[in-house]
Amino acid sequence: MKKSTPIKQKRARSHESLAPKSDESNKESSPSPVNSRGSSSNKSISSTDSRQSNGFKRKPGSETGSIERLNEDNSFRKISTSYNENEDNINVVVRVRPLNPKEMENGDHQVVEFPGNGQIMVDYPPNNPNEKPKLFSYNVVFEPAATQEDVLQFSGMKRLISMAIEGFRCTCFCYGQTGSGKTHTLTGPPGLIGPKSVAYSENHGLIFRSFMYLFQRIQEQSNTHFILKASYLEIYNEKVIDLLNAGTIRKPLAVRWSKKACGFFVENLFTVDCEELDDLIAVLEEGMRNRSIGRHNMNDFSSRSHTILTVHITSELPAENGVFITRTGKINFVDLAGSEMTKKTQSEGKMLEEANNINKSLMVLGYCIASLSDPKKKTNHVPYRDSKLTKLLADSLAGNGVTLMIACISPAKFNVSETVNTLRYAARAKKIRTKPVVLMDPREALILSLKHEIETLENENKHLRTALRISSTSTPSDKNSNKVKTPPKVDLEKLGDMELQELMELVRLYVKENAELQQQNMELFNSREVLQRDHEVVCRENERLSRKLEGKTKTPDTGR
């Protein structure tokens, strides 16, 4: 069996110092940066909790519990959150960015509040005494002071990475209006990733941190061979552009349907082998360099396209009998372009065309989410084919994947209607249910199952043979006992070296032998039953005759 080169077990560049330090988050000053569903608010946790790591500690004995952060003075500060690893297949978290300098300059104020337990309250419509504030509930809500590391630790991203390693198709996508912090969450502030990028910054976003975590997990599994490949594309004005092979012409690539994989794929998309962490980071840098960015009234570095960075993870795990189990998982990082009100962004010309395309594809995504989240509509048509974005996300939303949606919002009153729209969108996405499955190499899965079958049949046939031998000694007249042809004897340890055809032939012989042995056993069983019945009849007749004989010998005594 072909084996691939394992991922090199060495750390890359200067990222060795990247592991989050326990006091990394101490610089935060807000009392409640994260809150989440199911948290037991204001419950304090003993500082002797053994499950303490990275400056955080969790409620003992439960995966769901409050998270507190370690302060510089070694006391723990409640950050009002709970962390539940076993969430739905589509987890939805909300990240609220801080008010930006422009909003503060304009005297804008915050219209969102955080009641805890994964809830967020929005004063909408603002300052209307006749309307109650809108309350929404999610898996986790990250408040403005939450750090980039908080997002990795508590969004469920680590679970997603582990699942991708196990062979699931996973997707993390950021959704929200323009300027709400999607790119910041995924990659960090503008200029951080690029030729002059620093080795490590606390501003590094979720992608960078996920790569780190991915390599850490892979290096822990020294008995498994991993092959990592990455691709990076953007959907700009409904055209798919390869960000790793963009060239000067930026030739668009076709999105096609694969019958075999039952999904859409991008034809001729460049995939790069990534043996080391640095290779993945180089992919991120290259893609970020080539993506389309523009400046408008609400964001100086606005993404003018949707981007999808995919890491394919193939693992080869040695199983029994020299067989390898191959699994291919993947993880997509999707940075959606922000929905925008063109009046507010004052987009015109090229920018306006981009905005219209962005809004259109997001609208189609919205329709798909609405259809999928409504059990009544689910059987109806889901309009994936109406945009390239939804074609490529179809699998993540409704197929066999596991998805994390990070809804990014601004806290400012100026953006409140877009904020409520995003929160509604996210609430709908939360209702979608998927059915995740592990992707295994079908040929190797077949070989493995054939080997199990051979072993089971061999054991069963052995028992049947023994049963026949026992029966045939008790019924020496039986003529069938030696009629069955035994398959050639194989060393079970060497099954791994056999070709698929040989294995299938072996299974066929074992199945044949099994059927014949079953037949013989059945015949023997039937003839034994007949013998038993005859035996019973003879016994009963014997008894009757004995009783009769007894009666005859007793009569002369009583009569005279």
Ligand X SMILES: Nc1ncnc2c1ncn2[C@@H]1O[C@H](COP(=O)(O)OP(=O)(O)OP(=O)(O)O)[C@@H](O)[C@H]1O
If one asks whether residue 301 binds ligand X (CB under 6 A), the answer comes out as yes
For residues 179 and 401, which CB has a smaller minimum distance to ligand X in the complex? 179
Cα–Cα–Cα angle for 308, 313, 316, rounded to 5 degrees: 170
Q: How far apart are CA 175 and CA 154, in angstroms?
A: 18
Kindly tell me which residue out of 38, 125, 126, 189 binds ligand X, with binding defined by CB under 6 A: 189
Residues 397-456 that bind ligand X (CB under 6 A): 408
177 is in an annotated binding site: yes
Other C-beta atoms within 10 Å of 402: how many? 24
3-state class of 155 per DSSP?
A: coil
Among 57, 97, 225, 451, binds ligand X (CB under 6 A): 97
Q: Is 178 in the site for ligand X (CB under 6 A)?
A: yes
> Looking at 194-202, 225-233, 300-308, 496-504, which segment touches ligand X (CB under 6 A)?
300-308
| CA dist., res. 327 & res. 309, Å (int) | 20
176 scored as a contact of ligand X (CB under 6 A): yes
Question: Is residue 181 involved in binding ligand X (CB under 6 A)?
Answer: yes
Cβ partners under 8 Å of residue 531, min gap 6: 475
Which residue blocks in 118-268 are alpha helix, DSSP H? 148-154, 157-166, 182-186, 206-220
Kindly state whether residue 338 participates in binding ligand X, applying the rule CB under 6 A.
Answer: yes
Burial class (CB within 10 angstroms; exposed 0-12, middle 13-18, buried 19+) of 208: buried
The span of 83-91, 211-219, 299-307, 382-390 binding ligand X (CB under 6 A) equals: 299-307
CA 165 to chain centre: 9
Minimal CB distance residue for ligand X: 338
Least distance (Å) from ligand X to the CB of residue 350?
A: 15
If binding means CB under 6 A, how many residues of this protein chain bind ligand X? 20
- Whether 285 and 193 have beta carbons less than 8 Å apart is answered as yes
Tell me: is residue 485 an annotated ligand-binding position. no
Q: Which member of 302, 305, 314, 520 binds ligand X (CB under 6 A)? A: 302
Q: How many CA atoms lie within 13 A of 208 on its CB side?
A: 29
Member of 41, 100, 342, 421 binding ligand X (CB under 6 A): 100
**Complex with ligand X: residue 38 or 190, whichever CB lies closer:** 190
Which of 59, 184, 225, 291 is close enough to bind ligand X by CB under 6 A? 184
Q: Is 179 annotated as a binding residue?
A: yes
User: Radius of gyration over alpha carbons of the chain, in Å?
Assistant: 34
2 vs 200: CA distance, rounded Å: 38
252 scored as a contact of ligand X (CB under 6 A): no
Q: Which of 153, 183, 310, 357 binds ligand X (CB under 6 A)?
A: 183
176 in a labelled binding site:
yes
* Cα 506 from Cα 276, distance rounded (Å): 42
321 touching ligand X, by CB under 6 A: no
Annotated binding residue at 197?
no
Residue 182 lies near ligand X (rule: CB under 6 A): yes
Position among 20, 156, 179, 287 found at the interface with ligand X (CB under 6 A): 179
- Residue 340 CB, shortest distance to ligand X, in Å, is 7
Please identify which residue in the block is written with the tokens 């995003």. 422
On the CB side of 378, CA atoms within 13 Å amount to 14
Tally of CA atoms within 13 A in the half-sphere of 273 that contains its CB: 8
Q: Which one of the spans 46-54, 96-104, 437-445, 460-468 is the region binding ligand X (CB under 6 A)?
A: 96-104
Could you list the residues known to form a binding site for ATP, using ranges: 176-183
Interaction site with ligand X (CB under 6 A): 97-98, 100, 176, 178-184, 189-190, 299, 301-303, 337-338, 408
